[in-house]
A = this chain, B = another copy of it.
Amino acid sequence: MSTREKIIDAAMAIVREQGVARLTLDEAAKVAGVSKGGVLYHFASKDDLIRGMVSRLIGQCEGIQKSYYESLPEGRHRWARAVVMTAFDPNGPASDPVGGALLAAVAVNRELVQPLREKYQEWLARMSEEGADLDATMLVCTAMDGLVFHDLIGLNLLNEEARARLKARALALLEN
């Protein structure tokens, strides 16, 4: 595996095991088995390292979404339904502590949002191609983002039953 990948792995492991606050260049270097200078060779700054983590997370998220898409029957809102399924997936983005960390980083530094925006636009394009009711789709997708966001900051408002009802309601809006 490339050193670059090893460093991202190390960074994500640190965040998962010790929390964001402990993600320092020194620690990432130590876990990845290189010097701090080595980390800064591959990533120009800490923000740059975070960008790398964001990209990887987006990739994972997209993988989950795609596999849901493939498992769903054809239909007008197939992609949108996949988005809903992903948001509620126990292994999805809402459950990864790394997500919260990156959320923080993105909130602080606006330019980190760029790769995320591009991916969102790609998803939107995909959904509009399948002839969806775009208003309902946007409402549902935005709600899914709200849900993931609630999970990421630990705002436990909904119990399992309420979550199930919300999921059903969201999918209902995407009927026919």
Residues of A bordering B, CB below 8 Å = 20-21, 100-101, 103-110, 113, 116-117, 120-121, 124, 135-136, 138-147, 149-150, 152-158, 162, 165-166, 168-170, 173
Name the B residues within 8 Å of A162 (CB-CB): 138
Known: A150-B142, A170-B139. Is A120-B158 also a contact (CB below 8 A)?
no
- Given known A-B contacts A146-B144, A149-B145, A157-B124, A108 and B138 have beta carbons under 8 A apart: no
Q: Which B residues touch A147, using CB under 8 A?
A: 142, 146
Inter-chain CA distance A147–B149, complex, in Å, is 11
Q: How many copies does the complex hold?
A: 4
Smallest CB gap from A169: residue in B:
B135
Chain B nearest Cβ from A113, distance in angstroms: 5
Complex contacts, A121 vs chain B, CB 8 Å: 157
In the complex, chain B residues whose CB is within 8 Å of the CB of A116: 153, 155
